[in-house]
């Protein structure tokens, strides 16, 4: 059942990408894009993909609850279901919507499964790169069907490469992160797509990423997948990320030593 579900959800995400998302990429009309909050856009692709993915997930686990990004935008009360017993799905139908709406890459489709409030599985699909990560809690992470993780080692500070999303950081923290970034090999501004940031840690393209905003559909899938590949996803104070925690700040790294080194460099010990 477990192995089948990994494949089934992966197939569902590919179906939503192929049938809904990709046909609309760079083909959106002005009426297909709207602002759901100041500075945040939503497209017809987001809404349609969430419908397709949600219906498919309910078929796979009858009786399960779906908490999708667009559903929460319409009804914030849905977030209370993250604490429910049984199976609850978190869905980000198009992560990186601003990129998608502007005709840019990357963007991703993401799903996490919570069971009795605990993340138990995650999926991230970058449909343009044809990259799919999927994994179970305590079962490892697969990247396009092959085990992920284990090849990073412990690079020196001057060799570390990663991203920091500083836009929403408090001013003092933003200045500290930018200054600390000069100690690292490369501090990137981020790709406006959390799913791609997590995939780049899994593929070894980068060794860490730092976020301030931590909405559950943006981070529950990737945090689980990185952990299962040997990495860590923790709040700035060192507490493991929990999708039901509405705190701010998250540092994700390929392994314990990278997390400690980057935390000291960017945030202070």
Read off the pTM: 0.96
| Residue 174: cis peptide before it, omega within 30 degrees of 0 | no
The answer for residues whose C-beta is within 8 angstroms of residue 234's C-beta and 6 or more apart is: 240, 241, 250, 251, 252, 259
Q: What is the DSSP letter of 229?
A: T
pLDDT at 1: 39
Q: What is the DSSP letter of 184?
A: S
| CA angle, residues 30, 33, 35, in degrees to nearest 5 | 125
3 state DSSP class of 38: coil
pLDDT at 149: 75
Residue 259 CA to residue 238 CA, distance in Å, equals: 10
pLDDT tens for the chain, 269 residues long, are 346 999 999 999 999 999 999 999 999 999 999 998 888 899 999 999 999 999 999 999 999 999 999 999 999 999 999 999 999 999 999 999 999 999 999 999 999 999 999 999 999 999 999 999 999 999 999 999 999 976 667 789 999 999 999 988 999 999 999 999 999 999 999 999 999 999 999 999 999 999 999 999 999 999 999 999 999 999 999 999 999 888 889 999 999 999 999 999 999 85
Q: Per DSSP, what are the bridge partners of residue 80? A: none
pLDDT at 38: 85
DSSP string, 115-144: ETTEEEEEEEEETTTTEEEEEETTTEEEET
pLDDT at 155: 85
Helices (H), 17-92: 22-24, 44-60, 69-74
């Amino acid at each position: 059942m477990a192995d089948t579900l990994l494949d089934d959800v992966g197939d569902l995400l590919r179906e939503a990408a192929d049938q809904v998302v990709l046909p609309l990429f760079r083909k959106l009309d002005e009426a297909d894009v709207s602002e759901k909050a100041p500075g945040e856009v939503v497209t017809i692709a987001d809404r349609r993909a969430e419908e397709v993915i949600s219906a498919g997930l309910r078929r796979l686990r009858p009786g399960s609850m779906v908490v999708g990004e667009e559903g929460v935008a319409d009804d914030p009360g849905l977030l209370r279901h993250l604490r429910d017993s049984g199976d609850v799905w978190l869905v980000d139908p198009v992560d990186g919507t601003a990129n998608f709406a502007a005709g840019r890459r990357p963007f991703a489709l993401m799903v996490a499964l919570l069971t009795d409030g605990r993340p138990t599985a995650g999926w991230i699909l970058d449909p343009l790169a044809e990259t799919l990560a999927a994994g179970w809690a305590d079962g490892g992470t697969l990247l396009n069907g092959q085990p992920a993780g284990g090849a990073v080692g412990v690079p020196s500070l001057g060799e570390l490469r990663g991203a920091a999303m500083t836009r929403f950081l408090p001013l003092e923290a933003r200045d500290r992160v930018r200054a600390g970034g000069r100690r690292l090999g490369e501090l990137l501004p981020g790709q406006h797509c959390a799913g791609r940031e997590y995939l780049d840690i899994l593929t070894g393209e980068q060794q860490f990423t730092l976020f301030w905003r931590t909405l559950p559909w943006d981070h529950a899938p990737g945090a689980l997948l990185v952990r299962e590949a040997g990495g860590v996803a923790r709040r700035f104070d060192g507490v493991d990320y929990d999708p039901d925690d509405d705190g701010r700040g998250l540092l994700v790294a390929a392994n314990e030593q990278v997390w400690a080194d980057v935390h000291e460099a960017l945030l202070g010990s």
